[in-house]
């Protein structure tokens, strides 16, 4: 990765630089926020590690400017700070920081943060690739539409397309020649009024109504009364026009001069085959576009390590569930859990083993929830479970079920447990406040010795009873 260090402390910057270069990253150094901002405008950087407090421009302002600029590539921002309060972290996140590195520098923590940054940047790169693929698919679809329109207008036979009400929507150049009227004159006129016939209009209207109901007409002979050349004997083929989903949206009429029947029939057959090929191509491109959109949606909402929903999907779902609970006056609870001593586990057994633990925790949760519940990776070793239509007692029982299932897992290296905090939606509470209540309860569970469940409000009561 191309890494920019924004640090006014020379010793700290040198330690960081050596640690990064040891991991074979390209490193540039800026002594304050202004110099870092100039470097960012001159060349792209994958990762910015910025000190919080700097002269000229602090880390928060630098982070805001990075997020406000229009850049094709995403820049991951890691805030370097001695600040450890929750309010400080929230302020950093609000400015656009992706992660934090606490001073003094811990090399193991730095490695973990860099691994996280690399995963996020790879996901961003994959997302941009999928976006480009989608753009190319759209361009191919537009080209196919253009080719189909050119093909339709250039057909050597008169083709008239009409909507489900019988109003003319397409009138190609051969129709203009055959019927002596321009497309502008015919557009939106009912077919039975636009085509002067020796038959009565009621019969023509009934014919069109039958087509949009699903009927087909093959090689029907009729007499067209040309405004200048009198009656002309023609054959016509009419059939419904269907959407990709199979719904009838109108019809198409193909008209030929009967004196050139054999020659024209051969041309129609060839052209209809070409129309079928282009229609199939259009359907294929549409399917590719839908598949690309589905892949993009999965990338945007799925955690790459555990396969469950990610933080972004969690925030969106929680907002919806909070609004629904307030609208219909139903219960809603949130469980936040944090794997106990996870950093120690990583340090002891390595990050791959830690990753497997996180995946197993996610699997244990997925096997313990109801269909209506929502499981997501909240961040790091934290997970979240949204429990719709569940009050405090039900949420406690659910959390205890999660805890029992996790404890019962056959852990090969050492037992893995978690601390659980339960928040319950109160009148007037928003999503952020619900998260804060569950987070407070989680803190209480850790303080109580870990591997336990604490419901928000009960930890205060427990403290008072002591």
Which residue segments constitute the domains of the chain, with CATH numbers given?
2-105 (3.40.50.2300), 140-291 (3.30.450.20), 311-465 (3.30.70.270)
pLDDT of 295 reads 64
Q: Which of 156-160, 280-284, 430-434 has the lowest mean pLDDT?
A: 280-284
Does residue 259 have a pLDDT over 80? Answer: no
* Element spanning 190, H or E: none
**Residue 160: beta bridge partners?**
171, 253
pLDDT of 138 reads 85
Per-residue confidence band for 226, with pLDDT thresholds at 50, 70 and 90: confident
Distance from C-alpha of 52 to C-alpha of 72, rounded to nearest angstrom: 25
Per-residue confidence band for 462, with pLDDT thresholds at 50, 70 and 90: very low
pLDDT of 262 reads 47
Span 152-156, average pLDDT: 80
pLDDT of 273 reads 78
- Residue 24 backbone phi and psi in degrees, to 5: 65, 35
Span 383-393, average pLDDT: 96
Per-residue confidence band for 357, with pLDDT thresholds at 50, 70 and 90: very high
Check: CB of residue 3 under 8 Å from CB of residue 27. yes
pLDDT digits 0-9 by tens, 245-258: 889 999 998 888 88
Per-residue confidence band for 10, with pLDDT thresholds at 50, 70 and 90: confident
pLDDT of 299 reads 65
Per-residue confidence band for 144, with pLDDT thresholds at 50, 70 and 90: confident
Would you call 332 helix, strand, or coil by DSSP?
strand
pLDDT digits 0-9 by tens, 308-327: 999 999 999 999 999 999 99
Helical segments of 23-83, H only = 33-42, 59-68
Q: Which two tokens stand for residue 259?
A: 């004196």
Contacts within 8 Å (CB) and 24+ apart, 106-114: 107/19, 108/346, 108/347, 109/343, 110/16, 110/19, 111/23, 111/351, 112/346, 112/351, 113/78, 114/1, 114/20, 114/23, 114/25, 114/47
Q: Which residue has the higher pLDDT, 267 or 215?
A: 215
pLDDT of 80 reads 86
Q: Which residue has the higher pLDDT, 235 or 202?
A: 235
pLDDT of 127 reads 86
b/e sequence 146-175, b meaning 16+ C-beta within 10 Å: eebeeebeebbbbbbbbebebbbbbbbbbb
Residue 391 Rama label (left phi>0; alpha psi -120 to 50; beta): beta
pLDDT of 291 reads 65
Does residue 361 have a pLDDT over 70? Answer: yes
Q: Are strands 168-171 and 158-163 parallel, antiparallel or unpaired?
A: antiparallel
pLDDT of 260 reads 55
Span 73-84, average pLDDT: 85
pLDDT of 266 reads 60
Q: Give me the percent of the chain exceeding a pLDDT of 90.
A: 42
pLDDT of 281 reads 77
Question: 30 CB contacts (<8 Å, ≥6 apart)?
Answer: 4, 5, 6, 7, 36, 38, 39
CB atoms within 10 A of CB 122: 11
Q: Which of 52-56, 303-307, 385-389 has the lowest mean pLDDT?
A: 52-56
Q: Alpha carbon of 1 to those of 14, 23, 29, 45, 224: distances in Å? A: 18, 10, 14, 8, 74
Does residue 161 have a pLDDT over 80? Answer: yes
Per-residue confidence band for 298, with pLDDT thresholds at 50, 70 and 90: low
Helix, strand, coil % over all residues of the chain, rounded to 5: 55, 20, 25
Burial class (CB in 10 A: 0-12, 13-18, 19+), 45: buried
Does residue 464 have a pLDDT over 70? Answer: no
Check: CB of residue 442 under 8 Å from CB of residue 402. no
pLDDT of 322 reads 98
Q: Which of 15-19, 234-238, 297-301 has the lowest mean pLDDT?
A: 297-301
Does residue 261 have a pLDDT over 70? Answer: no
Please tell me which of 37-41, 111-115, 163-167, 393-397 the model is most confident about, judged by mean pLDDT: 393-397
pLDDT digits 0-9 by tens, 330-340: 999 999 999 99
Distance from C-alpha of 56 to C-alpha of 89, rounded to nearest angstrom: 22
pTM value surpassing 0.85: no
pLDDT of 466 reads 37
CB atoms within 10 A of CB 427: 6
Does residue 143 have a pLDDT over 70? Answer: yes
Q: Which residue has the higher pLDDT, 26 or 262?
A: 26
Q: What is the mean pLDDT of the chain?
A: 86
Does residue 264 have a pLDDT over 60? Answer: no
pLDDT of 109 reads 86
């Amino acid at each position: 990765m191309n890494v920019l260090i924004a640090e006014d402390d020379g010793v700290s910057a040198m330690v960081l630089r050596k640690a990064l270069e040891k991991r074979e990253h390209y490193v540039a150094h800026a002594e304050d926020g202004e110099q870092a901002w100039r470097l960012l405008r001159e060349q792209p950087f994958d990762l910015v590690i910025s000190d919080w407090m700097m002269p000229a421009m602090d880390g928060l302002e630098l982070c805001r400017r990075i997020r406000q600029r229009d850049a094709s590539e995403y820049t991951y921002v890691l805030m370097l700070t001695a600040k450890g309060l929750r309010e400080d972290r929230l302020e950093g996140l609000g400015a656009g920081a992706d992660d934090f590195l606490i001073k003094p520098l811990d090399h193991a923590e730095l490695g973990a943060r860099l691994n996280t940054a690399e995963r996020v940047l790879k996901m961003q790169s994959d997302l941009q690739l999928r976006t480009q693929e989608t753009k190319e698919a759209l361009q191919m679809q537009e080209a196919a539409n253009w080719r189909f329109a050119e093909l339709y207008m250039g057909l050597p036979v008169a083709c008239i397309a009409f909507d489900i009400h019988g109003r003319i929507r397409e009138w190609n150049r051969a129709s203009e020649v055959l019927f002596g009227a321009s497309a502008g004159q015919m557009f939106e006129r009912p077919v039975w009024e636009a085509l002067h016939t020796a038959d009565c209009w009621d019969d023509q209207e009934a014919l069109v109504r039958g087509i949009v109901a699903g009927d087909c007409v093959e090689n029907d002979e009729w007499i067209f009364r040309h405004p200048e050349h009198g009656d002309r004997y023609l054959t016509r083929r009419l059939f419904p026009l269907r959407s990709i989903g199979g719904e009838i949206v109108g019809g198409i009429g193909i008209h030929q001069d009967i004196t050139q029947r054999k020659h024209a029939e051969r041309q129609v057959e060839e052209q209809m085959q070409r129309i079928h090929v282009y229609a199939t191509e259009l359907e294929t491109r549409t399917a590719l576009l839908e598949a690309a959109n589905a892949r993009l949606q999965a990338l945007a909402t799925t955690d790459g390590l555990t396969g469950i929903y990610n933080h972004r999907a969690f925030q969106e779902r929680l907002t919806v569930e909070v609004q629904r609970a307030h609208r219909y006056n139903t219960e809603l609870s949130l469980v936040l859990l944090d794997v106990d001593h996870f950093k120690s586990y990583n340090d002891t057994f390595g990050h791959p083993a830690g990753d497997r633990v996180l995946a197993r925790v996610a699997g244990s949760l997925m096997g313990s929830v109801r269909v209506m519940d929502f499981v997501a990776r909240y961040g790091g070793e934290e997970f979240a479970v949204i429990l719709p239509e569940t009050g405090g007692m039900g949420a406690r029982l659910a959390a205890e079920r999660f805890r029992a299932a996790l404890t019962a897992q056959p852990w090969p290296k050492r037992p893995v447990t978690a601390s659980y905090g339960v928040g319950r939606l109160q009148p007037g509470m928003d999503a952020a406040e619900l998260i804060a209540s569950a987070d407070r309860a989680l803190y209480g569970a850790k303080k109580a010795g870990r591997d336990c469940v604490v419901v928000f409000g009960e930890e205060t009561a427990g403290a008072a009873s002591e």
